[in-house]
Amino acid sequence: MTSTTLTPTRLFADPPLLPALPQQARFGPVAKANNQEYVVYLQSSAHDREQLELWRCDLSSTTPYCWLAADQLKDSNQSSAQETEAERAERERKRQFSSGITSYQISANGERLLVPHEGCGYIFEITSKLGEPIYTTPKGVRQTDMHLSPTGQHLSLVRAGDLYLVNLKSGAEIRVTQDGSDTVSNGTADFIAAEEMHRFTGHWWSADESCIAFQRTDNTPVQLTYRHDIQAAQIDLIPQRYPYTGEANAAVTLGVYQLGPKTTQWLDYSTDPQAYLARVDWLGDKLCTQVQSRNQQRLELQYWVGAENRWQSLLSEKSNTWIELHDNFTEVVDQANPGFLWTSERTGTSQLYFYPMAPGQVTPNEPIGLTSQGAVNAVVKVRDGKLWFTGWDTNPTEQHLYQVELDGSSPAKRLTKTAGWHDTKVSPSGDRLLDQFSNLGQPPELALVEPTTGERWPFAGGPISAAAPYHQYATQHCSSELGELKAADGQTLHYRLTRPHSVAAQGAPLIVHVYGGPGVQRVKNEWPPLSNQLFTQAGFGILELDNRGSSNRGTEFSAPIYRQLGVAEVQDQLVGAQFAQSLDWVDANRIGVYGHSYGGYMTLMCLAKAPAVFKAGASIAPVADWHLYDTHYTERYLDTPSVNPDGYASSGVIAHLDGLVGKLLLIHGMADDNVLFSNTTLLMHELQSRGTPFELMTYPGAKHALQETSVAAHRFELIVDFFRRNL
């Protein structure tokens, strides 16, 4: 078999080297009419990897088929208006970069399907074969944040900053709010909620559809700045209300609209005007909010007692550092023992608790599920006194699905057997699993699984077949290995190391691929990104290490970065680099580093703080000065600039630039609205004032993710060439 060297152009070209894994895969809600279980997911079309189609697989046949393609939607109903700023912001916050059908919703009763597409909404009655839509957005109108009500009788949507409801039987529209403007929006998540809290909606239906809770956001208090959105042939001056750390956030209020009397009641969810509305949910007929203090050291879960016009606390979480938000608040519907599930890091790692709501029941003291040093990541399903969740028990580089009795009467049982990383869903009956899985030796696979026998029916992905385009590169594929090191405080650091395809007599150069920021875990027993192969096939080793502060390890592992960034993280990356220098195949004098976003920041800090070790670095979209980043993210770790000025000064890159003597490549998108381009212009100015040479590449029109195919190929070509020349 002939073998070819992988190039950036081929990596990002069509057809994909490996089958694109389906997105948003889940079991569909079962309709009472047919009681048929099925799986739904989005899959790239055969002719364009960036265009997604909606696929379905009925479990009675296990044969998937295309349920709906974007070109089946009626062009006559498409809006002639251009994409709105709200739509662009929604895609960027969700990191949603594909075209075609990029999202879908099935009503909770399994009877209707909503497909948003290019600012329009299409609603279908669900059958095995979809017919004509029963609703389409009026022509010439664009809208966002569309949701079906639980029984699919209503559609809620946001249009020009106002919340609307559509009665799908009569077609009548209700305009719930009237004050949408350039600074006021209703029914959508604000910038901080979407970008940092990962809450992407701003309205919530009650189960009986009698009312809808919604968020009103007034951005007037947020500092108005002007961002230069630099495109290929023009420069747009974009007014942006960006909530810089220490400054004012948007004013967020919570309303509840009653469909019967057509009235809105406004609820003060906190006496603290600086508190964050972190989550909104319904627990039966109770409207619940999770309210987070500005310093993120307190989280209150409460429900509204309408008869008494007040909030009642369900529980409070407190921390000396910060509290991680989660989406594991789950209603338990059980007539004998109703309640809710909750995860908390109060004992050091994320554990699972059941809170009964029946009168006289005692607040839980002991967690259910994993009670060792492991962690619960996500509640997957609860049914008939059983619950399923994902997490890890002894090894944080793997994720598995577990099942446990709700009453905690028996230890958790692991259902996924193969070593690796499993992201698993459970069917409505609890009899089948939908498992997205990979490990170091197998590319990602989505499969239907029978948990008792372990039999798998793959939908996509899996082992590399002779028909896969990547097969011609297989003989040069470089495998990875996992390992452990010790941080200065004795905590375990996990790394993933990939040796190059060939090593010269003098040894091979090594590149540390870093993210290093909180909220992210990079080192997993999963199929590594194929971009690593660009470096290994060019003769570079790749080292990835999760330093202290990384996620999925608990509060003790996170705490060292509190109030001072770039210290423990760099120390730990040095532990990894020094370990690599001890390997007989590594040239200790040729070690580089590269990363994106927090990884771009870490690249600069490693170069500046450890120039004797790191000789070259490629920094992509870095934060240069934490004063230039947003409130919720930055204050979580550093507090405010007025309270912790020394922490801000020492955590910024500028204070350490005198130590930067290695080769540097700076890369940034010129329309980045997350890590603003001003971070790189500040760096350019500071480096120039010091006479420090560097290389620069900017991408007109590109935002933070730099996801465009041409940009991705060009960027990696540039980075590989940079390290070839400098290592």
From 438, 597, 619, 651, the catalytic residue: 597
Q: ∠ at Cα 97 (91, 100), nearest 5°?
A: 95
Q: Residue 265: left if φ>0, alpha if ψ -120 to 50, beta else—which one?
A: beta
Cα–Cα distance measured from residue 727 to residue 725, given in angstroms and rounded to the nearest whole number: 6
Q: Which residue has the tokens 């590399």?
A: 464
- What letter represents residue 699's amino acid? Y
Among candidates 239, 262, 92, which has minimal Cα distance to 163?
262
407 Rama sector, left if φ>0, alpha if ψ -120 to 50, beta otherwise: alpha
Question: Among residues 39, 41, 195, which one has the least CA distance to residue 104?
Answer: 41
For the question of residue 582 being annotated catalytic, the response is no
Could you give the C-alpha distances from 616 to 430, 496, 605, 679, in angstroms and in order?
Answer: 52, 21, 12, 20
| Tokens 């607040």, located at residue | 363
Concerning whether 61 is annotated as a catalytic residue, the answer is no
* The token pair that represents 349 in the structure block: 């790692």
Which residue from 461, 464, 434, 462 is spatially nearest to 449, judged by alpha carbons?
A: 434
Residue 672 CA to residue 66 CA, distance in Å, equals: 35
3-state secondary structure of 314: strand
Contact call for residues 501 and 539 (beta carbons, < 8 A): yes
User: DSSP letters along 420-431, please?
Assistant: SEEEEEE-TTSS
Residue 599: enclosing H or E segment and its boundaries?
Answer: helix 598-609
Largest CA distance in the chain: 81
Cβ within 8 Å of residue 408, ≥6 positions away:
354, 366, 368
DSSP H helices, 450-519, are none
- For 9, list phi and psi in degrees, rounded to 5: -60, -45
Strand-strand pairing, 541-546 and 508-513: parallel
Contacts of 144 (CB under 8 A, 6+ apart): 84, 86, 87, 90, 116, 119, 157, 158, 159, 188
C-alpha span between 697 and 666 (Å, rounded): 6
Q: Give the three-class secondary structure for 659.
A: helix
198 is catalytic: no
- The torsion angles phi and psi of 20, rounded to 5 degrees, stand at -65, 130
Alpha-carbon gap, residue 12 to 522, rounded angstroms: 21
Q: Which residue has the tokens 């290994």?
A: 536
Give, in degrees to the nearest 5, the angle at Cα 687 between 682 and 689.
95
Cβ contact 705:671 at 8 Å: no
The rounded distance, in Å, linking the Cα atoms of 176 and 25 is: 33
Distance CA 281, CA 301 (A): 10
From 480, 672, 673, 714, the catalytic residue = 672
Active site residues: 597, 672, 704
